[in-house]
Amino acid sequence: MPVSIQGADKLRKALRKFTPDLAKETTHEMALALRPITNKARGFMPSNSQVLSGWTKSLSSGETINYRPFPKYDQATAKRGVKYSASPSRPNRKGFVSLARIVNTSAGGAIFETAGRKNPNGQPVFKPSKFTHASYHEEGHGFNKSLNPNAGKQFIARANELGELVNARPKGMVGRAGHKKTGRVIFKAFAQDNGKVTVAVVKAIENSAAKFKNAVGVN
C-alpha cells in the first residue's frame, strides 16, 4: 500500500552522499522487511496444471499476426517476476519517487494478479459499427477479441477459483476502497500482512533520519 513520506527521497540522496554506510544499512533493513511478503506473494502463483490449459501455450506468432498476442503463463517465470526493490525509483509524472516497492514484472503473473478487477465478467464483445470503416483491431481496443465470446468470463472464473481478488487496504483504514488496490498475489500478501511491512519500512527510514542527524551534527 502506498504511503507518502515527505522529504524521504532527499534523505536517501543525502545518505548516499554523506553517509554511504548508513545508506547501505537502510537499504538492507528495508529489504529485510520486503523479502518475506515477496516470498509469500510468489507462493500464491498457481501451477501450470491449475490454469486453463491454453494459457500455458504460445498460440500465435509475431510473424503471422499484426497485433500483440495474449501473454502465456508459466509458474516459474511468474514467481521470478515478483520482485522487491529498496532502491529509489525514477520520479513519476507527478514527481513522486518510490523508495520501496514490490512489483509483478511478468506479463502472465500480472494478468493473474488483476484479471477481472475492472471487468468482472471479462471485456465486452466488440461489435463493429456499420457507420465506420475502421478495422476490427483499430476499433476493438478494450474489447474481447477472442472467437469465443465467453472467453473472458471463463478465464476470470477460473482465476477466481484459484485465488479471489483481495483488497490490500489494512483493516480499519478509513477511506474508499478502490478496485485498483485488489489482486490475487502481491495485494493478497499485503492484505494478510495488514500493514506490518509498511510500518517496518517507514521505521527504517525514520531510524536512518535520526542516525543521519547525529552523524552530521544536526539537531
* DSSP, residue by residue, 87-153: S-----TTS---SSEEEE-SHHHHHHHHTTSS-TT-SPBP---TT----HHHH-TTSB-SSSTTHHH
- Please name which of 200, 183, 180, 201 lies closest in space to residue 191, comparing C-alpha atoms: 183
For residue 138, what pLDDT is reported? 46
Using CA atoms, how far apart are residues 187 and 144, in angstroms rounded to an integer? 26
Helix, strand or coil for residue 205?
helix
Assess contact for 156 and 120: CB atoms under 8 A.
yes
Query: What pLDDT is stored for residue 60 in this prediction?
Result: 47
Residue of 178, 107, 119 whose CA lies nearest to 143: 119
Tell me, what DSSP letter sits at residue 66?
S
Supply 57's cell numbers: 501455450
**How far is CA 55 from each of CA 12, 51, 157, rounded to the nearest angstrom?**
42, 7, 14
> Phi then psi for 84, rounded to 5 degrees?
-115, 155
Count, in order, helices (H) and strands (E) of the chain.
8, 4
Task: Please calculate the CA angle 96-101-105 and round it to the nearest 5 degrees.
Answer: 110
Overall pTM surpassing 0.85 (yes/no): no
Rg of the chain, C-alpha, whole Å: 22
Per-residue pLDDT of the chain (219 residues; tens, 9 = 90+): 666 677 788 888 888 888 999 999 999 999 999 999 999 999 999 999 999 988 998 654 545 455 567 889 999 999 999 999 998 888 888 888 888 999 999 999 999 999 999 888 887 776 666 555 555 444 556 667 667 778 889 999 999 999 999 998 766 555 555 668 899 999 999 999 998 999 999 999 999 999 998 887 766
Rounded Cα–Cα distance for residues 115 and 99 (Å): 27
Return the closest-CA partner of residue 34 out of 212, 186, 218, 208: 186
